[in-house]
Amino acid sequence: MKLSFDWLSEFVDLEGLSAAQVAEKLTMGAFEVEEVTPVGAEITGPLVLGEILEINPHPNASKIRLTKTRVAPGAEPLEIVCGAANIEVGHRIAVALDGACVVNRHDGSKLEIKISTIRGVKSNGMLCSAAELGIATDDTTGEGIYILNDLAGDRPLGTDIRDILDLKNDYILHVEPRSNRGDALCVAGLAREVAALFNRKLQTQTHGLDEFGKALDQNLTGQIKAQSQANECPYFSLRTINGIKIGKSPAYIAKRLEAMGLRTVNNVVDITNYVMHELGQPLHAYDLEKITGNTLTARFAREGEKITTLDGKERSLTPEVLVIADGDTAVGIAGIMGSKDSEISQQSSSIVLEAAAFDQATVRKGSRLLGLSSDASLRFERGVDRVQTAIASERACYLIAKHCTCEDAQLAIGDLQQAGDNKAQSKTVDLRLKQIDRILGISLDSQKIEALLTPLGFGVQDLGQQSGQATLRVSIPSFRQSDVTREIDLIEEICRLNGYDKIAAIMPSASMPAEAADTFVSRVKKTLTSSGLSEAWLSSLVPENEPGIDHDRVVSVLNPLSKDHQLLRQSLIPGLLKAVAYNQDRGRKDVWMFEAGRVYERVPSASSQQAASQTQGNLKGHTGSKERQLIAAAVTGEKSRALEAPLKPDYYLTKGLVENLLEHNDINLAKIAFRRVSDLYPWLHPHRAALVTLNRPAKPKKLDKAVSQSDIHRQDPSPYDHLDENITLGYVGEVHPRYKDQVGLRDNAWVFELDLAKLELERKPGKFKEIPNTPEVWRDLTCDFENQETEHQAVCAVIIKAGGPHLKTADLVSVFKSDRLSLTYRMTFQNPAETLTNDQVESSIQSIRKDLSDKLKATFRA
Amino acid sequence: MSEMPEESLNESIDQRLEKITTKALTAIEQANDLDALEACRVAYLGSKGAFTQIMQLLRTVPKEDKPRIGALVNEQKKKIEDRLEERKAVLYEAHLSAKLSSESIDVTAPGRRVPLGHEHPLSQIRQEIISIFYSMGFSTVDGPEIETDYYNFDSLNTPANHPARDEQDTFYTNLGPHVLLRSQTSTVQVRVMEKTKPPIRVIAPGRVYRNEEVNARKYPLFHQVEGLLIDKDVTFGQLKGTLQAFIKALFKKDLNIRFRPDFFPFTEPSAELDSQCPFCQGKGCRTCGNRGWLELLGCGMVDPNVLKEAGIDPEIYSGFAFGMGLERLAMLKYDINDIRHFYTNDLRFLEQF
């Protein structure tokens, strides 16, 4: 909230303190002041009340006019040029004379007024708008001249404008509201904090409704009675006031409300707002004539009940919403906003003033359901002290009696009509002195604690030893009973009042060994960065039209702010390819990127129920969703290298990245198989993509009757549903040319995506094997296949199986395609125990050749 | 290639030896490279060389002359071998120096590099934070991003209709009214406390979501690192000590910091850790909104209600918790002015880190 330094000084002695000092102390006392802005300081020099006597066209310009304005009683009128359209003869206005300084309404800078010639005519000053006087008003453009006929009354011309508008220098402190401190959302509440923090005296206000004794009329006829039908309105009070004249507020009220950032409406409404900001109690005034019957009742709304609120919107209510209703209909939403129909108008002469206490949670719930909040609901949600409802009502009546009267009618204020009670409840909290030391690490004695707490209205009584512990009994003032209910709440108060800086910083004592975490992901990232890929962090919230989404399993956001952030992603690839296109659009050709990130999916309900029953009693953590961490990459464009041929990506380079990633992170490539796949994702080339799987057969799906219904539902909740999810680690492939065009890629790209948790399960850090002393023997073998589709992996598997125990490696060294497919393998043999003989090697080669020709119809050249 | 000795029966063996030796030495001297020298060696000392053939004649020498002639042969042979070695050393050096000077390159030409990628700055600072806390005994734990309102709010002393819920614009999901995208990593607090008995010392880095418009300071998702320490006799003083040590380790210098009272439903007392604005040294600038201070992280003593909710007796145990924004720290540490840079993934940005 915005706090006027000047207003604050009415409640606490600020002698010798600057606004900056108060701001600093409040900040370090739990009320952060985000900014301090000066108000009125820019207005200097001769600024007086004037009256417009004549308005004539400007001889040389059509958009500006020439006024004759009198600035002192009986003085010769001055010619002043004015561009505003809203002036009329007889208007009383603020005139800045030669040498005055006002605010430049365009940019807030200082504007110095001099006698000058405007398009050939001499102008002896300036007629001021509200903005030029440093006052914010409805007139947001600041172009209209501020008309002061109401505010200035019959003050003589030439009176200093600052006296009329109460334009004293002031500072506005922007105080961050605290969600648990409804009591401090007002001048009086913050004054209490300031008084305690500076150890200054709090000045209690006298509201003195008795000054208007003649206005009080207990027997006023037509008084509206108060009734509450809900426990959520524990106190409800009304006062009927007759003989009111609606008009503009006095300048000091208008100015302070404007400084708070509020619009001024009329004197009655402004006074209710003024008292709310002063004392923290929201008030509401109804037009008496618009109320049916003689009672206002706090009750819950009926289903479908309608109300048009002050903001002009019709709202449909539900029984969770507390309303104030007259004989027929709801005239206000309790604690949030009044109805349009019962609003105070210029013609209102009688009003009903409401001051009530409403339940915090009920107001918040209503506010959320209706999507409607107000300064009143902001305060009720945070807790309002019900003891001061009547005080606030009386304060408002005092101000109304002072500022809203007229000669035609006699102001009469009725009796306070009440339902429920607003008596202070006595609450105490016991505080064990040792607990302060245990939680804060600082020991304070009871005198110190008393000195800290008393200025905030707490009462401290020393109970001596209770159950062997020195204990204080602290009585809680009514306005703090919603946030101070426990010992720890008192410890916090003591901590902040004493100063956080008074607590010495020390390191926690005994240290425990920590588990190293995250090393696998970090290692994987290192493998990829050392292969030339840079890491991206992509949004996990993706657009509603994200490609490749399985809508049966998608997790979506119900309240997205933008269509770009509507679904939770199921793959990292679309985002990566978008990032690739983004970089390509900026002229970058080689874009090699990866991300380690999560994907999300909804778990189908059958297995979700099963999951729930497995964790019976822990439904509080059940979301019906699954998150997996993936590592994915996209590469496109040649990486140029100094003095060397560029590194050109293709399917095999990308597959090589996967193989490196696996092998460098302790996953034996012998355990891995690549299996041709098509139609897996819209972004994969149907003939240049492979699943990365474990090299073991998919488990046959059990079909016997032992399989329960839920097991069937539980099968592979993954996109790879035509393959066993248990052995699928991910995929690698070229980007489909259609997808490439759709996302606007400028070059071919290749991608892979792997499940990190599954990879981690397959990790097996190697153990040292003795280095053999025997020599390695190598042989090349070229095999020809008539079937051009013969795959390396199948050939290699046959070679390894047939090669016997001493075959160490079989590397593909050349591929040649003619009418036949020719693959050449280099095989190394080694027996660590003894040197292999030529015969032994030849016999291995023979069995390899035999198996290759039997199983894959391989032929061999002589 | 071998040079046959001249047949002259008139000459004595002594004379012939002398003669061959002289010829050999001359040939060695005339050899101009290592190949010629090797040819020379073969011509005289090789198995069919001139000197070797002379030695065949030793058989014909009378018995009484044999010791003298034998010694003479050895003497002459050694003479040739020594000269060969000497000459070889000289020729090798000459050969090497010629080779080396022919191998001269431009040593200032660019190095041939294996292209390297860059880890994302958020990854780097995340890893750094994990390491710092690891050294203080904190293990790293994880939690789900799709969460229930129980772990995001209720278990953290933030019941339904608590105004603090409004301050975090939460994303709700199609998975049910109680399922949301976590708005804070504090969700991990009660999850950890339910599974682990004190003492507990963990940090939980992770992604969080808030329903906010994208601008230079805000993005609908960002990252936090949550910290939690529960033990007997844990005090606010220890919280201050731990975080001071952390800030010093992360920024590698003593920043001027302060603990400012604040309010979070799940800690009491609560504090915001501010650092004096490094851009203006506290004088006030645009980065710090003229405050002179920048918020680094929120922290506080774990509220007894949260401990109770997790089944830990607050009369025996106490603890502290803290939460920091990864982006905020990275922006401060690397002087980054717009949070969107982190998610745009422009290589011109990524390659700076």
Helices (H), A483-626: 487-498, 519-529, 573-585, 605-614
pLDDT, one tens digit per residue, over B218-236 is 899 999 999 999 999 999 9
What pTM, to 2 d.p., does this model score?
0.80
Examine the pLDDT at A708 and tell me if it is beyond 70.
no
CA dist list (Å): A813 to A56, A809, A825, A859: 100, 12, 6, 18
Q: What sign has the CA pseudo-torsion B253, B258, B262, B268? A: positive
| pLDDT for residue A701 | 45
Alpha-carbon dihedral angle through residues A249, A251, A256, A261, given to the nearest 10 degrees = 70
State whether residue A486 sits within 8 Å of chain B by CB.
yes
CATH architecture assigned to A427-500: 2-Layer Sandwich (3.30)
The ipTM, to two decimals, is 0.84
Q: For A359, which residue in chain B has the nearest alpha carbon?
A: B161
| Closest-CA distance of chain A to residue B167, Å | 9
| pLDDT for residue A613 | 47
Is A256 in contact with A40 (CB distance < 8 Å)?
no
| pLDDT for residue A102 | 86
Query: A174-188, A682-696, B151-165: which range is least confident on average?
Result: B151-165
Q: For A491, which residue in chain B has the nearest alpha carbon?
A: B269
| pLDDT for residue A425 | 87
| Closest-CA distance of chain A to residue B304, Å | 8
| pLDDT for residue A211 | 67
- Taking CA A688 as the corner, what is the angle to CA A682 and CA A691, rounded to the nearest 5 degrees? 75
Using only C-alpha atoms, chain B has a radius of gyration, in whole angstroms, of 43
State whether residue A179 sits within 8 Å of chain B by CB.
yes
Examine the pLDDT at A714 and tell me if it is beyond 70.
no
Enumerate residues 197 to 216 of chain A having a beta carbon within 8 A of any beta carbon in chain B. none
| Closest-CA distance of chain A to residue B258, Å | 8
Average pLDDT of the residues in A750-776: 91
| pLDDT for residue A24 | 92
| Closest-CA distance of chain A to residue B100, Å | 23
The answer to whether B163 contacts A488, with C-beta atoms less than 8 Å apart, is no
Average pLDDT of the residues in B269-277: 92
Substitution target from A33, A359, A500, A599 for chain B, most B beta carbons within 10 A: A500
| pLDDT for residue A677 | 87
Question: Which of the listed CATH numbers 3.50.40.10, 3.30.450.90, 3.40.50.920, 3.10.450.50 matches domain A209-420?
Answer: 3.50.40.10
Q: Determine the CATH number of domain A777-860.
A: 3.30.70.380
| pLDDT for residue A720 | 40
Tokens at residue A109, please? 């800078």
Residues of chain B found within 8 Å of residue A496, distances taken between Cβ atoms:
261, 269
Query: A158-167, A628-637, A650-659, B219-228: which range is least confident on average?
Result: A158-167
Residues of chain A found within 8 Å of residue B283, distances taken between Cβ atoms:
none
State whether residue A496 sits within 8 Å of chain B by CB.
yes
Q: Please, which pLDDT band fits residue A717 given cuts at 50, 70 and 90? A: very low
| pLDDT for residue A261 | 82
Query: A745-749, B213-217, B228-232, B309-313: which range is least confident on average?
Result: B213-217
Domain chopping of chain B, boundaries: 13-102, 121-350
Residues of chain B found within 8 Å of residue A656, distances taken between Cβ atoms:
none
Query: A216-225, A745-754, A758-767, A840-849: which range is least confident on average?
Result: A216-225
Question: Which of the listed CATH numbers 3.40.50.10860, 3.30.930.10, 3.30.379.10, 3.40.50.150 matches domain B121-350?
Answer: 3.30.930.10
Question: CB under 8 Å, gap of 24 or more: what pairs does B330-339 form?
Answer: B330/B121, B330/B122, B330/B125, B332/B275, B332/B278, B332/B294, B332/B296, B333/B125, B333/B250, B333/B251, B334/B121, B336/B121, B337/B216, B337/B287, B338/B216, B339/B216, B339/B217, B339/B218, B339/B219, B339/B222
The answer to whether A35 contacts B139, with C-beta atoms less than 8 Å apart, is no
Average pLDDT of the residues in A266-293: 93
| pLDDT for residue A704 | 38
Domain chopping of chain A, boundaries: 2-40+171-198, 47-167, 209-420, 427-500, 519-609+623-699+715-761, 777-860
Q: Please, which pLDDT band fits residue A700 given cuts at 50, 70 and 90? A: very low
Q: Which residues are CB-neighbours of A573 under 8 A, at least 6 positions away?
A: A548, A632, A634, A681, A683, A751, A753
Substitution target from A439, A629, A636, A660 for chain B, most B beta carbons within 10 A: A439
Examine the pLDDT at A139 and tell me if it is beyond 60.
no
Number of H helices, E strands in chain A: 22, 42
Average pLDDT of the residues in A24-43: 84
| pLDDT for residue A606 | 55
Q: Determine the CATH number of domain A2-40+171-198.
A: 3.30.56.10
State whether residue A579 sits within 8 Å of chain B by CB.
yes
The answer to whether B117 contacts A29, with C-beta atoms less than 8 Å apart, is no
Enumerate residues 614 to 643 of chain A having a beta carbon within 8 A of any beta carbon in chain B. 620-625, 627, 639, 641-643
| A203/B174: higher pLDDT | B174
State whether residue A703 sits within 8 Å of chain B by CB.
no
**How would DSSP label each residue in A370-389?**
HT---HHHHHHHH---GGGH
The answer to whether B212 contacts A28, with C-beta atoms less than 8 Å apart, is no
Identical topology for domains A47-167 and A519-609+623-699+715-761: no
Residues of chain A found within 8 Å of residue B134, distances taken between Cβ atoms:
514, 516-517
| pLDDT for residue B3 | 47
pLDDT, one tens digit per residue, over A389-439 is 988 999 999 899 888 887 777 888 888 899 998 888 899 999 999 999 999
The answer to whether B120 contacts A515, with C-beta atoms less than 8 Å apart, is no
Residues of chain B found within 8 Å of residue A489, distances taken between Cβ atoms:
268
| pLDDT for residue A343 | 93
State whether residue A485 sits within 8 Å of chain B by CB.
no
Average pLDDT of the residues in A291-299: 93
| pLDDT for residue A712 | 34
Picking from A178, A438, A622, the nearest residue to B318 by CB comes out as A438
In the three-class reduction of DSSP (H, G, I as helix; E, B as strand; rest coil), residue B91 is classed as: helix
The answer to whether B201 contacts A512, with C-beta atoms less than 8 Å apart, is yes
| pLDDT for residue A509 | 75
| pLDDT for residue A617 | 46
In the three-class reduction of DSSP (H, G, I as helix; E, B as strand; rest coil), residue A170 is classed as: strand
Substitution target from B122, B189, B229, B235 for chain A, most A beta carbons within 10 A: B235
Query: A320-324, A675-679, B288-292: which range is least confident on average?
Result: B288-292
| pLDDT for residue A135 | 72
| pLDDT for residue B14 | 81
Burial B36-49 (b: 16+ CB within 10 A, else e): ebebbbebbbbeeb
| Token pair 């057969």: residue | A697
CATH topology of domain A519-609+623-699+715-761: BirA Bifunctional Protein; domain 2 (3.30.930)
Ranked by mean pLDDT, the top range of A464-473, A715-724, B117-126 is B117-126
| pLDDT for residue A709 | 36
| pLDDT for residue B10 | 57
CB contacts < 8 A, A to B, total: 283
| pLDDT for residue A718 | 40
| pLDDT for residue A262 | 86
Query: In the predicted model, what is the mean pLDDT of chain A?
Result: 88
Residues of chain A found within 8 Å of residue B237, distances taken between Cβ atoms:
440-442, 503-506
The answer to whether B150 contacts A35, with C-beta atoms less than 8 Å apart, is no
Examine the pLDDT at A164 and tell me if it is beyond 90.
no
Tokens at residue A512, please? 């425990």
State whether residue A527 sits within 8 Å of chain B by CB.
no
| pLDDT for residue A703 | 39
Closest CA to B48 of B82, B17, B2: B2
| pLDDT for residue A697 | 65
In chain A, what percentage of residues exceed pLDDT 70? Answer: 91
pLDDT, one tens digit per residue, over B300-322 is 999 999 999 999 999 999 999 99
Query: In the predicted model, what is the mean pLDDT of chain B?
Result: 89
Residues of chain A found within 8 Å of residue B235, distances taken between Cβ atoms:
437-441, 506
Residues of chain B found within 8 Å of residue A627, distances taken between Cβ atoms:
144-146
Q: Please, which pLDDT band fits residue B337 given cuts at 50, 70 and 90? A: confident
Picking from A513, A532, A579, the nearest residue to B117 by CB comes out as A532
State whether residue A560 sits within 8 Å of chain B by CB.
yes
The answer to whether A532 contacts B115, with C-beta atoms less than 8 Å apart, is yes
CA atoms within 13 A on the CB side of A39: 30
Enumerate residues 718 to 757 of chain A having a beta carbon within 8 A of any beta carbon in chain B. none
CATH architecture assigned to A47-167: Beta Barrel (2.40)
Average pLDDT of the residues in B286-299: 85
Examine the pLDDT at B289 and tell me if it is beyond 80.
no
Substitution target from A363, A480, A503, A572 for chain B, most B beta carbons within 10 A: A503
| A208/B336: higher pLDDT | B336
